[in-house]
């Protein structure tokens, strides 16, 4: 029997206020079938509007009661893309109802919330996957080269992860007599450009919003745990970030187990800084050689008269990241594989991000907070 002849996996989308690419990505796989979109009734109108839009797209009901939707539609998987501060609560509720969980990044704005998810997932014996980019073709190639020993034991991984997107007016554009822009309003408005990864009540810097991706690369390529962190962070570009004292540019040094080293450069560096989404590269150093990997490759360059200013002229091709993530999660649910980014690994990434943010503020070396011992 091939996979398409098997029973579909019933999916509830629990809040989809920012990245609808997460549910779209899951539904690119034939086994995952949307059955309901749900959220809490007390959410504001803009949340309900976005949830309703996705429900309409898939022609499924939108229910303003998460627990009732789970009872009525019997989903097996929850896909969650709410505001970051609500991610973990929805994940815990889904796990407690026996659902496997696919969650958008960042895991949470609070490490204790991440710990709740780790505990709930373990206690309920369900599976968890944090959405990531580890199945982009260049990453798959890098992983193959590393796992087949082509560069020997990995000694260092360096990741550049820049998004060439704006986030409102530049630093210095607000006069002293003007009030700072409201974070939530600005991020709600940024939804049309897709630059709303930090949407929510709690302001978040780029490191907190996007740090999961490069750290997931390091995790996927080495599995090494981080021991110490040194970081520099700054609000270098955007008034919004400066007003709310969160970063839009960061450099991080990570000292890992067994002497392995990793570094990250990360930022929301503005539309003008790159013709495409941004320079995203990996440099790996091993005992037998090194790798220089461009995350965007393979790509096709397309230029034409009247090309919209914000259209990326370089098109990524042969990209099946979404399908592979969904397929891997299916294998995880069926007990044939490990989750590409499970709850504990996601929680540890969040701990590393928090240690980096603290180091950026204090100028000191920091240790990521370990997960609570549950033995």
Partner 1 sequence: MRIALIESRDPGELMDAMRYLDDCQCPLWIGSQDDREFDASRLNGIAELADQESAFDVVWLEGDPEKRIDHLQQLAQLEKPIVVPFPPVASLGEWEQLQSVDQIVVSFPYRAQPYLQSIGERLHSGELGKPGLLRIHHWTEWREEHEPFSVLHELGAQIDAACWLFGDRPQTLYAVNVPAEGRVKFGLQLHLGFADGGMALLDGLVMDQVQPYSMITLIGSKGAAYADDHHNMNLMLADRTEAIRVEQQQECWRRIWQDVVDQTEGTQLREFDKVADLYRVLDAVERSYREQKVAEWQGDHYELV
Residues that bind partner 1 (CB under 8 A): 152-153, 155-156, 158, 160, 162, 164, 170-171, 230, 232, 234-237, 249-251, 253, 255, 259, 261, 263, 265, 267, 269-270, 272-274, 279, 281, 283, 285-290, 292, 294, 363-365
In the bound complex, what is the minimum distance in angstroms from residue 352's beta carbon to partner 1?
Answer: 16
Residue placing its CB nearer to partner 1 in the complex, 174 or 236: 236
Residue placing its CB nearer to partner 1 in the complex, 64 or 228: 228
In the bound complex, what is the minimum distance in angstroms from residue 119's beta carbon to partner 1?
Answer: 34
φ/ψ (deg, to 5) at 118: -55, -45
Cα 53–Cα 57–Cα 62 angle in degrees, nearest 5? 55
| Number of alpha helices (DSSP H) and beta strands (DSSP E) in the chain | 12, 14
Strand, helix or coil at 108? coil
In the bound complex, what is the minimum distance in angstroms from residue 312's beta carbon to partner 1?
Answer: 16
φ/ψ (deg, to 5) at 206: -65, -35
| Angstrom distances, CA of residue 259 to CA of 153, 254, 287, 323, 365 | 11, 10, 12, 35, 16
Residue placing its CB nearer to partner 1 in the complex, 41 or 301: 301
Record the tokens describing residue 19, joined without a space: 């990245």
Residue placing its CB nearer to partner 1 in the complex, 261 or 344: 261
In the bound complex, what is the minimum distance in angstroms from residue 67's beta carbon to partner 1?
Answer: 46
End-to-end CA distance of the chain: 40
In the bound complex, what is the minimum distance in angstroms from residue 180's beta carbon to partner 1?
Answer: 19
Cα 137–Cα 104–Cα 349 angle in degrees, nearest 5? 80
């Amino acid at each position: 029997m091939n996979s398409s002849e098997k029973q579909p996996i019933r999916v509830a989308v629990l809040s989809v206020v920012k990245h609808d690419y997460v549910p779209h990505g899951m539904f690119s796989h034939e086994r995952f079938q949307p059955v309901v979109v749900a959220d809490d009734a007390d959410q504001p109108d803009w949340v309900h509007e976005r949830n309703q839009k996705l429900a309409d797209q898939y022609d499924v009901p939108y229910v303003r009661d998460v627990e009732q939707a789970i009872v009525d539609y019997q989903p097996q998987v929850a896909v969650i893309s709410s505001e970051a501060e609500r991610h973990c609560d929805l994940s815990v509720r889904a796990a407690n109802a026996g659902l496997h969980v696919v969650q958008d990044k960042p895991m949470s704005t609070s490490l204790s919330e991440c710990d709740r998810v780790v505990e709930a997932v373990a206690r309920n014996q369900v599976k968890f996957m944090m959405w990531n980019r580890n199945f982009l073709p260049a990453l798959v190639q890098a992983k193959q080269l590393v796992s087949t020993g082509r560069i020997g034991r990995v000694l260092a991984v360096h990741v550049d992860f820049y998004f060439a997107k704006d986030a409102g007016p530049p630093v210095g554009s607000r006069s002293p007599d003007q009030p700072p822009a409201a974070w939530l309003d600005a991020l709600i408005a940024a939804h049309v450009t897709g630059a709303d990864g930090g949407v929510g009540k709690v302001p978040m810097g780029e490191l907190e919003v996007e740090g999961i991706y490069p750290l997931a690369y390091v995790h996927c390529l080495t599995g090494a745990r981080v021991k110490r962190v040194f970081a520099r962070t700054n609000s270098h570009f955007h008034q919004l970030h400066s007003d709310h004292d969160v970063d839009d540019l960061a450099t991080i040094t990570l000292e890992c187990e067994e002497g392995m080293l990793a570094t990250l450069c990360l930022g929301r560096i503005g539309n003008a800084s790159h013709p495409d989404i941004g320079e995203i590269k990996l440099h790996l150093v091993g005992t037998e050689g090194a790798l220089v990997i461009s995350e965007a490759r393979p790509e096709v360059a397309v230029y034409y008269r009247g090309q919209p200013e914000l259209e990326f002229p370089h098109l990524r091709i042969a990209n099946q990241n979404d399908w592979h993530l969904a397929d891997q999660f299916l294998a995880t649910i069926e007990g044939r594989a490990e989750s590409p980014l499970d709850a504990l690994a996601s929680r540890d990434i969040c701990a590393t991000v928090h240690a980096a943010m603290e180091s950026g503020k204090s100028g000191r070396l920091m240790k990521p907070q370990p997960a609570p011992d549950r033995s």
